A and B are shown apart, each in its own frame.
Chain A
Amino acid sequence: MGNFWAIFKRELTVYFTSPMAYAVLVIFLLIAGYLFASSVSYYAVVSLEAMQNPDMAGLNVADAVLNPLFGNLSVVMLLMLPALTMRLLAEEKKSGTFELLFTYPVRDIEVVLGKYAAALAVFVVMLALTATYQILLVYLGKSAAGVAVSGYLGLFLAGAAFLALGLLVSALSENQIVAAVVTFGCLLLLYLLGWASNMIKSDLGSVLTHLSLMEHFRNFSHGVVDTVDLVYYACFIFFFIFLSLRTLESKRWRG
């Protein structure tokens, strides 16, 4: 596993010596901060109203702030994470460096996992920095710890799934832009698959709903950790990492 660490360290260093990680981090935090601030101020206005209006007695931070925040953050991730994965393997192929990489005594799986873990690490840093919002909520005396924890678990799993798909697309493409666009397109499609159930009222509709990235995220943002969703994300990640590995191996086996 020594080679895994070597690849991981190199990838992580490249993220932070190029503007890539900083660009993604800054823009993500900017948008996330804006979303948080606006939902908190909206909550402040609404809760003033709620004091006079008995119909709005059920109002709480989890529903009014966290749930929409997590939903919005997952969409921002959908937009930003393809930028983290697009170069992972596409760049190696374009610049020819993978010829050297694959003639070093490195297993393909070490390459795949090392690169994936590096992208995941950048993403975790991104996500961890938004945890300051929760600290603010605690400070304001309005924390909803349970929903926050499950929401972050959901964001982490969804992000890890996005990255796994991005890794595969990067393994298939030689062009980083193409990799980013295709990753984004696939993710959006999988995300919106849930809408199909509104139009297709048959078994197919429910199959599509179960395949949707959004449907499985919904529970987490409501504070519900369901094993169905955990298994879904675990399978999703495993499946795409496995395909990435096979894609790399096929380069060596094709005659």
Chain B
Amino acid sequence: MKDVSFAVADGETLGFLGPNGAGKTTTMRILTGFFPPTSGTVKIGGLDVFEESLAVRRMIGYLPENVPIYGDMPVNDYLDFVAEVKGLDRGARKKAVGEVVESCGLEPVEGRMIKRISKGFRQRVGLAQALVGDPKLLILDEPTIGLDPQQISEIRSLIRGFSGKKTIILSTHILPEVSMTCDRVAIIRDGRVIATGTPEELSAEMSGGSRLRLRTNGSAGAVKERLSKVAGVLGLESGSAQSGLMVKVERGDAVQARVAAAVVQSGWDLYELSPITASLEDVFLELVTRESGPSEEEEAE
């Protein structure tokens, strides 16, 4: 891994997006102090992960990728054990375990052996152990991997429920997950962070401005000619009859208004004028499949 540098603000949810093998898990392990970084530093809450490992570990709740929890313990005993090693005393432990059992919906499996519960519940126990002791920072490595769609949406809504209250760093290779749960995204490839920003920013950046979809009753040639004179319009492509005309414009609402005015002033009927933003999927595929482009760009910045 090289040049991985990012900051997460309090209460923010950062999504770590990348294809398998890009270095997501390694990053998570370095963040939690499980792997030492060969160079560079990680600071959580102002403390160096490496130098003040114990203090940092008190602040974080970690859910590793394959949910390595003890199968040979009942769920509530396990959570009690976790609460104890996280330094909670007897009374606080009972309360803390009760809270996470409730917030993760673990009541149905409370007394069962972990190796006998379903994968969905196992994942929730994993999340519960990260939450025990109310850590400020949650680090979740692929929290929805291997679950069925309903379980995935349950886990996601659980995670969304914490946004604002806790700082969350989660890694995933599933795109909708990021747009659904995260405030900010860092895209990682080959051990490098190649882009960061809100999902919207990334989309906008990608398309280099925004695009508008325009449908009118004017003939394509005339419309093109008229619009190319409007300030802020960067280019035009004609699409099919249904999709209308694609107008590439500078960012901002002013251009959109000018385009609308131009169409109407020319006496055409305006059926549709809507902005098209690149989906996160486009951004991701673009960034990840681009061979050499992005790294040069990054260095230039």
Contact = CB atoms under 8 A, between A and B. Distances in A.
A2 B64 contact: no
B60 A100 contact: no
Contact of B64 (A3, A100, A253): A100
B85 A95 contact: no
Interface in A69-118: 95-107
User: What size tier do the contact residues of chain A reach?
Assistant: 20 to 34
A131 interface: no
B66 A103 contact: no
B77 A13 contact: yes
Q: Is the interface of B mostly helix, strand, loop or mixed?
A: loop
Contacts of B129: 100
A99 B30 CA distance: 12
B166 interface: no
Contacts of B36: 252-255
Contacts of A252: 33-36
Given A254-B36, A255-B36, A107 B68 contact: no
Given A6-B81, A10-B81, A103-B57, A96 B33 contact: no
Contacts of B235: none
A138 interface: no
A103 B60 contact: yes
A103 B49 CA distance: 11
B273 interface: no
20 contacts: A3-B87, A6-B85, A9-B81, A10-B73, A13-B73, A14-B73, A95-B68, A97-B70, A98-B68, A101-B85, A103-B57, A104-B57, A104-B82, A104-B85, A105-B54, A105-B57, A105-B86, A107-B54, A253-B36, A255-B38
Counting from the closest, the 4 A-B pairs by CB-CB distance are A96-B68, A6-B84, A255-B38, A105-B57
Interface of B: 29, 32-38, 54-55, 57-58, 60, 62, 64, 66, 68-73, 77, 81-82, 84-87, 129
Interface of A: 2-3, 5-7, 9-10, 13-14, 17-18, 95-107, 252-255
